[in-house]
Homo-oligomer: A and B are copies of this chain.
């Protein structure tokens, strides 16, 4: 019965990534007609235009899975006041070759957790610039800059009680944003 398919992009590829845990916990708060699919970004080569003519399987899969999505959920930490290079690399792959931007017209939400909330805030400020050029319209409010604290996750891997209401609100609005904008590119509407 799922109607809306969401591609999830986690900005960190380490095994115990807090942002991956956050992504997984958020999924549990989603409406029943939403399904979520992690996009692998750790097996992509470093983007080079030279490789466009002969894309690897991982590159093809990334583009295919973006294409199948109705919306995007970015869950990202901050590295050095911007998004991690590994996430930017995936975004670059999805945007190419020129004229074949796979991200185009997909509505997106962005959220993240970092040791201090400022970290993900600064990263998201850059991410919003990046997504705009890709014709990805991003949910404005509520902004979600999460500073990690003990108890953010409960023992089952869900969102702990102190943040549950806020993050349920975020998910509800993200879902509404996707319903409103899915399938509409600025070329087509």
Question: Hey, which bits of chain A sit against chain B, CB under 8 A?
Answer: 12-15, 41-42, 44, 46-50, 79-92, 95, 104, 116-118, 121-122, 125-126, 128-143, 145, 173, 176-177, 180-181, 184-187, 189
Residue of B nearest to A89 (CB): B85
Count of chain copies: 4
Contact B129 A85 (CB under 8 A): no
19 A-B pairs within 8 Å (CB atoms) are namely A42-B46, A46-B86, A47-B86, A79-B92, A79-B95, A80-B92, A81-B130, A82-B88, A85-B87, A85-B89, A104-B141, A121-B121, A122-B125, A125-B129, A126-B126, A131-B140, A133-B140, A133-B143, A141-B187
Extra inter-chain contacts (11) besides given A41-B46, A80-B88, A82-B82, CB under 8 Å: A12-B48, A14-B50, A44-B46, A79-B95, A80-B133, A117-B118, A122-B122, A126-B129, A135-B140, A136-B140, A173-B187
A-B pairs with lowest CB-CB distance, top 7: A85-B89, A85-B88, A135-B141, A135-B140, A118-B121, A176-B189, A118-B118
User: Using Cβ atoms and an 8 Å threshold, which residues of chain B touch A142?
Assistant: 186
User: Using Cβ atoms and an 8 Å threshold, which residues of chain B touch A125?
Assistant: 81, 122, 125, 129
For residue A147, give the distance in angstroms from its CB to the closest CB of chain B: 9
